Amino acid sequence: MDSRTAAHVLSEIAALLELRAENRFKSRAYRGAAKAVLALDTDDLAPVLRSGELAKVRGIGRATLAVLTDLVESGESRYLEQLRLDLPDGILDLMRVPGLGPEKIERLHEALGIASLDDLEAAARDGRLATVKGFGPKTAEKMPEAIAIARNSGTLALFHRAYAEAARLVSAVRRHPAVTQAEIAGSVRRRSEVVRNIDIVAAVTGDPADVVASFARIAGVVDASIANGSAAIRFVDGTLLDLHCVPPAKFAVALWRATGSEGHIRQMSDALAARGLLVDDDGVRDTRGERVPLADENALYALLDIPVVPPEMREGDGELAAAVRGLPTLVTAADVRGILHCHSTYSDGVATIADLAQAAISRGWSYLGVSDHSQSAFYAGGMSRDAVARQHDEIDELNATLGDFRILKGIEADIRVNGELDYDERTLDQFDYVIGSVHSQFKMSEEAMTARIVNALENPYLTVLGHPTGRLLLAREGYAVDVEAIIEKAADTGAAIELNADPRRLDLDWRFLRQAKELGVTVEIGPDAHSIPGLDNVIVGVGIARKGWLEAHDILNARSADEVLAFASARRDRIRLTGTSSRERRITGADPDADIPF
């Protein structure tokens, strides 16, 4: 029994337990065990089971070990089969529909016999869905869109998950005795926010077809299509691998081609053709048909007298012309000097401020900004004014013990319907900086939502506009808003815009980051961490910033703590310059108490 198949079984058990309304901690234990087993990355769990080492793996308990023992000894899980007995085959697909939890799925199954995405879609279209308690005409109207998201999410993965899977797979490819070099390519290498399939290119000795065929036969493979030294492989858990094996002399061009994008490959091929160089499956040939030797991708780009274009920029959107002029020096994770968006136990985080600070220090940062939710976000444990005072006292006490490291006093203040920030100005003035975010009333018209955010950007207390569109990748579209107008307003007012690095958000979208850069808007890369591991979301955010061509000087938290404070202070100086209070900037007719959490 291989670790991938075993992890898939454990994950399915976890999902079925959720549908059966079992104890959520039980379901979580099976998901944790699935991750632990997958990380073992072995084709045979039997030796580690029999040696007793499997029982010692963190995350594997008595119940999950029993399932793994069953899998190793019989190839099947009796517990999984038992759980499946009471549920139709397609009902797990319903778990991917945004807004449908176990209770609602059970209600739909009991009322209408819905047991698949097709059943749900039919019920939405013929009006039956609107008759079920808890649903209605508006829900039924939007259900086809939610179903489309669910169907896509079955073949798409968020970047951080795809990257982890790609790292496991490329490690396995490198262990093959005939492989001399292997690299991740495709949308993972370009740091795309969602990924359909994982591309890996390998340089091999011997016949590439033989190497590809050997991977098509490994444990956990459901099916594979093989042709010309490449294979499209589907694993039992739905992972899609496109493996390209080539002789070492062809590796540079194969890696470049598999990295993409299609637009970049086409434009660069045209530019090479204009110089009498033909790109084909065998590499690059000159006008005499002679192969041009290429040691690596750098040599390929050198044929055009340009530096190698970073993979994140290869989207066919002006990067070759930029390379002729001079490429930007893209931001790196090492440029980040601190973070400003994280949540502690004062709101909906699970780590204390002291623990977050120590974690930040261990990552080499020089400051940590704590930005818990404000009072209106009662659904996220938003802080009362008394809680703010207690938190600030705790931060002062911690700062007295941390030497050169600093904890900054921030807040993620709700942007209310009329564009005002949560808390009065006296309270807002107590924070070192303010992140303003929309967390409610997502169904406003584009005009109204844009006015709401524009009004907030006019408030000098707002330092950073948080997750500007409110999207959740593969789960929820962003609210209707004129993003370009928001960026222009940020430029006019000197506010920063967040690149929220939570892998489920990655908001602002990288396609708008270039506009922000061109207008001189400062961008904050915020992990939106609710736990210590969440701090590392910054790394994913840096990849998206690179896709948006951002450099270190564009990033607020690539600056020192003093520079961050100066940035926030400069925003507040506008109060003295204009003499305008936030209450004089209200949107006419808006009700400030109309916020309803969504």
Among the listed residues 433, 430, 440, the one whose alpha carbon sits nearest the alpha carbon of residue 465? 433
Three-state secondary-structure class, residue 235: strand
CA distance linking residue 522 with residue 419, whole number of Å: 21
Side chain identity, residue 496: A
Q: How far apart are CA 105 and CA 100, in angstroms?
A: 6
In DSSP terms, 285 is beta-bridged to 278, 291
Q: Say which CATH class 89-153 falls into.
A: mainly alpha
Beta-bridge mates of residue 383: 374
Q: How many CA atoms lie within 13 A of 169 on its CB side?
A: 31
Write down the pLDDT at residue 22.
67
Cα–Cα distance for residue pair 200/189, rounded to 1 Å: 10
> Which own/partner contact pairs does 400-407 have at CB distance under 8 Å and 24+ positions apart?
402/357, 402/361, 404/366, 405/357, 405/360, 405/361, 405/365, 405/366, 405/367, 405/368, 406/366, 406/367, 406/368, 406/561, 407/353, 407/357, 407/367, 407/368, 407/369, 407/370
Q: Does domain 3-84 have CATH number 1.10.150.110?
A: yes
pLDDT in tens, 484-540: 999 999 999 999 999 999 999 999 999 999 999 999 999 999 999 999 999 999 999
Amino acid sitting at position 436: G
Within the chain, all domains assigned CATH 3.30.210.10 are found at 260-327
DSSP letters along 249-287, please? Answer: GGHHHHHHHHH--HHHHHHHHHHHHTTT-EEETTEEE-T
Q: Are strands 157-158 and 198-204 parallel, antiparallel or unpaired?
A: unpaired
- pLDDT, average across residues 2-10: 91
Beta bridge partners of 235: 221
Q: Which of 488, 415, 422, 473 is nearest to 449 (CA)?
A: 415
**Residue-averaged pLDDT of the chain:** 91
pLDDT at 17 over 80: yes
Question: 24 pLDDT exceeds 80?
Answer: no
Structure token digits, residue 7? 């992890």
pLDDT for 23: 67
| CA angle 481–482–486, rounded 5-degree value | 105
The two structure tokens encoding residue 416: 């209310």
Residue 590 has pLDDT above 80, yes or no: no
Confidence of residue 576 (pLDDT cuts 50, 70, 90): low
d(CA 296, CA 300): 7
Inter-residue contact 306 to 335 (CB < 8 Å): no
Per-residue pLDDT reduced to its tens digit, 269-280? 999 999 999 998
Q: State how far the Cα of 485 lies from the Cα of 447, in Å rounded to an integer.
A: 11
State the pLDDT confidence band at 351, using cuts at 50, 70 and 90.
very high
User: Which of residues 360 and 477 earns the better pLDDT score?
Assistant: 360
Residue intervals in the chain for CATH 3.20.20.140:
333-585
In the structure, what pLDDT confidence band is assigned to residue 125 with cuts at 50, 70 and 90? confident
Terminus-to-terminus CA distance in the chain, angstroms?
44
- E strand residue ranges, 135-255: 157-158, 179-185, 194-195, 198-204, 221-227, 230-235, 240-246
3-state class (DSSP) for residue 370: strand
DSSP class of 555: B
pLDDT at 109: 84
Residue 105 has pLDDT above 90, yes or no: no
Which of 329, 328, 341 lies closest to 538, judged by CA?
Answer: 341
As a whole number, mean pLDDT of residues 223-228 equals 92
The pair of three-digit structure tokens given for residue 42, joined into one six-digit string: 């072995």
**What is the model's pLDDT at position 581?**
43
In this predicted structure, the answer to whether residue 281 has a pLDDT above a threshold of 50 is yes
| Residue 41 backbone class (left: φ over 0; alpha: ψ -120 to 50; beta: rest) | left
C-alpha to C-alpha distance for 468 and 505, rounded to whole angstroms = 10
Q: What is the pLDDT of residue 92?
A: 78
333-585, superfamily in CATH?
Metal-dependent hydrolases (3.20.20.140)
Closest CA to 547 of 265, 263, 313: 313
What's the confidence (pLDDT) of residue 107? 85
pLDDT on residue 83: 85
Residue 48 clears pLDDT 80, i.e. is over it = yes
Asked if 457 and 419 touch (Cβ cutoff 8 Å), the reply is: no
Higher pLDDT, 598 or 548: 548
Residue 9 to residues 13, 25, 79, 116, 421: CA-CA distances in angstroms? 6, 18, 10, 20, 47
Q: What is the pLDDT of residue 593?
A: 32
pLDDT in tens, 283-301: 899 989 899 999 999 999 9
Please give the class, per CATH, of domain 260-327: alpha beta
3-state secondary structure of 436: strand
Residue 102 banded pLDDT, cuts 50, 70, 90: confident
Strand (E) positions, 308-425?
338-339, 367-370, 406-414
Instruction: Give me the mean pLDDT over the 193-203 stretch.
Output: 96
